[in-house]
Structure 1
């Protein structure tokens, strides 16, 4: 029961931090420091990625009508051209991150450590504040998913690639920052980030499962299912909160939070230990 409780807590952390631009990796490291699960290091590495599937299913459920391009009418299958084009842009935005997949283990070995993650938290937090200050007097140029250009999709994809190299940058944080820095409204930047996460997280989870293998014990399957279910439920609430929040506020609060968390991580792992 203790291990299941830990899985629930990690599912809550994943469901909140995957969508808010505050780095799920940074939070998972802190939580794991105090609530170490009684599992192998290999399982834990896979677990923290695969429970993202619950978070992704929340996006699919909430935005089904916006992302599914087919519908049936009078016995015919109709195709929404704009949604097909949107998915083409999403695929294009995924290409930069696909380039670094072969080096994933090396990047994890180099940068998946408390201090590099803390620095990434702080740097991106500062960038959020700077970009939002610059945008104070500016009006967003792109206020619809359909208005995102192929060039904009590639730029956002490069930001996502950077997040894939440096844990702590935050995939959602990087893509939202990239989006608003090139003129996307906060709401559209957040929504495109949600949609972009669908192929990215499914792909990352599949790769992790292949590396780990499928020889799960019943206990390990239970931990995965519990954490994924909790992540799904919490993600629904988090996504709805974020979209509601950014309609009236900017992202600076998340920048300050990242800076504070980064400082906390540095203090804990250099001074308190």
Structure 2
């Protein structure tokens, strides 16, 4: 067994779990980390699918009670039917646009320099949104209407561009469209469930030929690391947003993006697509 490869899997799993639900782009961080670690081969494509699945399963576990109530009430409870409807409406923009542009985006935009640009642009946008004076008109998810969910869904679709951040786009979009910080964050988590499951299934279908039994130990290490890190991150982020805004993440994005561009320009780091 290649110990170095297992250590890479552990590190990348932790990175996925830590960044998937923070507004700093997990895809962008995996592209950058994969480039630094020299893990950009065919196996890495499937590995990233596995650790993403682990992160979304962590969210499902964290919200298992709420999900159970929603599923149990789909047949008779209007509140749960409405909640499911909001998720479907929010999911549709990413689903449709993803099917149309997924391959093109992966072919041309999945590289460290485009990620750096998106990190910086997203950071500046977060600073702009956070500094706008606003009074939320929607304090709880249950008060959302389908146009609100659709707007957040289109914001989520912007995260197909690597480096934008799915959670960042949905949370910031929610704030712009009148959701409270708590409602925007929670809706982002719930909307991630159908979106990431669909993306995972699509990626498995596209990369089915790359699945190999001998890669199981590497995938297992990454899966467990991602699941645990994601569980801790979700809990921490929900506590954080109750008393803080996202300015810290904005500055992190900007500094990290500038670092990538500076090291590429000076040749200090040779970034690999």
User: What is the TM-score of this pair, normalised by structure 1?
Assistant: 0.91
How big is the shift at 1:218?
A: 2.8
Q: Of the candidates 90, 94, 116, which is equivalent to residue 93 of structure 1?
A: 90
Q: Quote the RMSD (CA, aligned, Å).
A: 1.8
How big is the shift at 1:97?
A: 1.0
Unaligned 5+ segments in structure 1 are none
In 1, the alpha carbon distance for the partners of 2:112 and 2:32 equals 9
The residue number in structure 2 matching 1:11 is 13
The residue number in structure 2 matching 1:195 is 190
How big is the shift at 1:103?
A: 2.1
Correspondence list, 1:52-201, <5 A: 52-68=52-68, 69-71=70-72, 79-100=76-97, 101-135=99-133, 138-164=134-160, 166-201=161-196
1:219 aligns with 2:214: yes
- Worse-superposed segment, 171-180 or 91-100: 91-100
In 2, the alpha carbon distance for the partners of 1:191 and 1:231 equals 20
How big is the shift at 1:221?
A: 2.1
Q: Describe the superposition over 1:150-192 as per-residue Cα deviations: whole angstroms up to 9, x where unpaired.
A: 111111111111111x110011111111001111111111111
Unaligned 5+ segments in structure 2 are none
Q: Of the candidates 245, 250, 253, which is equivalent to residue 255 of structure 1?
A: 250
How big is the shift at 1:215?
A: 5.6
Q: Describe the superposition over 1:122-175 as per-residue Cα deviations: whole angstroms up to 9, x where unpaired.
A: 11111111111103xx332111111111111111111111111x1100111111
In 2, the alpha carbon distance for the partners of 1:28 and 1:114 equals 10
| 8 A Cα contact 2:46 2:210, kept in partner | no
Count of residues in correspondence between the two structures = 264
In 2, the alpha carbon distance for the partners of 1:78 and 1:197 equals 23
The residue number in structure 2 matching 1:208 is 203
In 2, the alpha carbon distance for the partners of 1:259 and 1:226 equals 31
Runs (4+) of structure 1 exceeding 3 A deviation are 77-80
In 2, the alpha carbon distance for the partners of 1:102 and 1:41 equals 25
User: What is the TM-score of this pair, normalised by structure 2?
Assistant: 0.91
In 1, the alpha carbon distance for the partners of 2:202 and 2:41 equals 17
In 1, the alpha carbon distance for the partners of 2:67 and 2:41 equals 36
| 8 A Cα contact 1:66 1:83, kept in partner | no
- Worse-superposed segment, 2-11 or 217-226: 217-226
